[in-house]
Structure 1
Amino acid sequence: MPDPARTASLAIDPTLFAEAKALKIDLAKAAEDGIAKAVRAVHAAQWQEANQDALASSNRYVEAEGIPLAKHRQF
């Protein structure tokens, strides 16, 4: 069974809050979606930083040797 959701208190710009309320936006869902997007972005940036040497090495190989198995490509 998943852990129950945690309660958090957030300060939101009053104009944005009023507009979201008028549009009947679920603030909890919108906040959760935004936090999830931010978490994914940070994970992606961390992965890219941790693997930058391998990515650079792979790019250098392709620049020097071409795409591996390119002769078998159908496009």
Structure 2
Amino acid sequence: MAHATTVGPRKATNVTLPVDVYERAKDLGINFSRTCEQALREAIKVEEGRRWAEEHADFIKHTNEWVEKNGLPLAEYRTF
């Protein structure tokens, strides 16, 4: 995972973890805040993508149908 680059205010929060996970992470020197932030950023990205695809499902479907029927626009200029 890449390091989070946060500019701006931060908000303290509580996280409840299973004891074994907490102890192993602590023993390994894992930064809890950074790890949680990175995991949440990734979860947000995935969820926003899922919602975008759901919201635009009709457009995606119709575009795919058009391409299947007509082929890719400018396909004759593809070099690969």
TM-score by length of 2: 0.86
User: Where do 4+ consecutive residues of structure 1 move more than 2 Å?
Assistant: none
The alpha carbon displacement at 1:36 in A equals 1.0
In 2, Cα distance between the equivalents of 1:39 and 1:71? 38
1:20 is matched with 25
1:9 is matched with 14
Partner amino acid for 1:39? I
1:46 is matched with 51
* Bigger helix fraction: 1
Indicate which of 63, 66, 75 corresponds to 1:61.
66
2:4 is matched with none
Root-mean-square deviation (CA, aligned residues, Å) is: 1.0
In 1, Cα distance between the equivalents of 2:34 and 2:16? 15
The alpha carbon displacement at 1:4 in A equals 1.6
Structure 1 position 33 matched with structure 2 position 12: no
The alpha carbon displacement at 1:3 in A equals 3.7
Q: Which runs of 5+ in 2 are unaligned?
A: 1-6
Matched residue count: 74
1:71 is matched with 76
Partner amino acid for 1:31? C
